[in-house]
Amino acid sequence: MVDAQTGEDLHIRLEETQALDRDCTTLSRHVLQQLQFSPDAQDISALMNRIGLAGKLIARRLTRAGLVENALGFTGTVNVQGESVKKMDIYANDVFISVFKQSGLVCRLASEEMEKPYYIPENCPIGRYTLLYDPLDGSSNLDTNLNVGSIFSVRQQEGDDEDGSAQDLLQSGRKQIAAGYILYGPSTMLVYSIGQGVHAFTLDPSLGEFILANENIKIPEHGPVYSLNEGNFWQWDDSMRDYIRYVHRHEGYTARYGGALVGDFHRILYQGGVFLYPGTVKKPEGKLRLLYESAPMAYLVEQAGGRASTGTEEILDVVADKLHQRTPLVIGSKEDVALVESFIKEQKRISNQS
């Protein structure tokens, strides 16, 4: 269709207008739109903005890490989980702390890299939130320039935690008021939820802004991908081995595993399927941390219409009994999570009979 006066193609003009609208939805504007009538709108928007800033700083460092002396490799120390710490883990951990200093928003940060939560005295007591985070998830991928991510979760600060033991954090994942992750892949993406659906933003490096890419993402009810470390096959119990034999014998399944939860989960969020990190004989609770990894991802997947389970219980119902607690994780499309659970149930039935 052509404009009679200007001779301009109206379809092109319309497409340009729509493209402009889309380009203008930044992360903070999106949060404000979602929380229009809430008294917390400004605070949550500012908080998400700071998380976005942390993501930009970490992404910038990662882009050049191979060229910067001393950016990669190990520090020579081990963290509270007994894992070797990488220099980038420490950098990313400190970035989150520094972006929240003097913000007046977050009183305390708890991360898998720190034994105890970090208090920002100048933000307390006005800071009403606690940030829990995994600063650089999948950091073993760094040596080979593969994807990594940051995972975050926001909870209301409850009480003043005078003894610093963070007992108030030992509650179910349903206490989270926001959660999400930043994926450092070919592009940097931030995916978040504040309890009103799941939304994805892509970092436009020329603008330095996270721009809305996908709104209200819904995970398919079923998908072809199963994602787990099959190298642990003989460490699992029979139920997991039976599940794997089942997917090997049936058409329509395909394996994908990248060794970083954020990337593996991101694929499943868009394409459907299931990610698993089950317990092993030696470590029945598996590898992933409840408060920093499993619970935030569970919050997202439920918001997207999927499920997250330990295999026997919804992840969001699990009450942590310590800050760095681990938990088995089965997360993804509803039908695929239920299929895995059915093998666990069957195994229990057989063991109870014998």
Q: State the residues that interact with ligand AFP by CB under 6 A.
A: 83, 137-140, 229, 259-261, 277, 287-288
Rounded alpha-carbon distances, angstroms, from residue 29 to 24, 55, 96, 181, 206? 9, 17, 21, 18, 19
Nearer to ligand AFP, 200 or 288 (CB): 288
For the bound state, the minimum distance from the C-beta of residue 111 to ligand AFP, rounded and expressed in Å, comes to 12
Distances (CA, A) of 262 to 11, 36, 64, 292, 296: 39, 29, 21, 12, 11
Helix (H) / strand (E) element for 342: namely helix 334-353
Q: Minimum distance from CB of 61 to ligand AFP (Å)?
A: 16
CB of 216 to ligand AFP, least distance (A): 26
Min dist. Cβ of residue 345 to ligand AFP (A): 24
As beta bridge partners, residue 184 has: 148, 188
Residue 147 or 188 having the CB closest to ligand AFP: 147
Question: Least separation, in Å, of the C-beta of 179 and ligand AFP?
Answer: 16
Q: How far is CA 272 from CA 108, 252, 303, 306, in A?
A: 35, 12, 14, 9
The nearer residue to ligand AFP, 137 or 161, going by C-beta atoms, is 137
Nearest to 61 by CA among 95, 26, 86: 95
C-alpha torsion angle, residues 230, 235, 240, 245 (rounded to 10): 60
Could you give the CA distance from residue 48 to residue 32 in angstroms, rounded to a whole number?
Answer: 10
In the complex, the smallest distance separating the C-beta of residue 352 from ligand AFP, rounded to whole angstroms, is 30
Query: Measured from the CB of residue 143, what is the shortest distance to ligand AFP in angstroms?
Result: 10
Nearer to ligand AFP, 50 or 287 (CB): 287
Q: Identify which of 215, 220, 119, 133 has the alpha carbon closest to the alpha carbon of residue 176.
A: 133
- Cβ proximity to ligand AFP: between 119 and 257 the closer is 257
- Smaller CB separation from ligand AFP, 259 or 305: 259
Residues 6 or more apart whose Cβ sits within 8 Å of residue 167:
161
Nearer to ligand AFP by C-beta: 49 or 229?
229
Q: How far is the CB of 262 from ligand AFP (least distance, A)?
A: 7
What is the spatial distance between Cα 97 and Cα 118, in angstroms, rounded to a whole number?
8
Smaller CB distance to ligand AFP: residue 124 or 146? 146
Q: Are 335 and 292 in contact (CB under 8 A)?
A: no
Q: How far is CA 23 from CA 17, 29, 32, 193, 217, in A?
A: 10, 12, 16, 20, 18
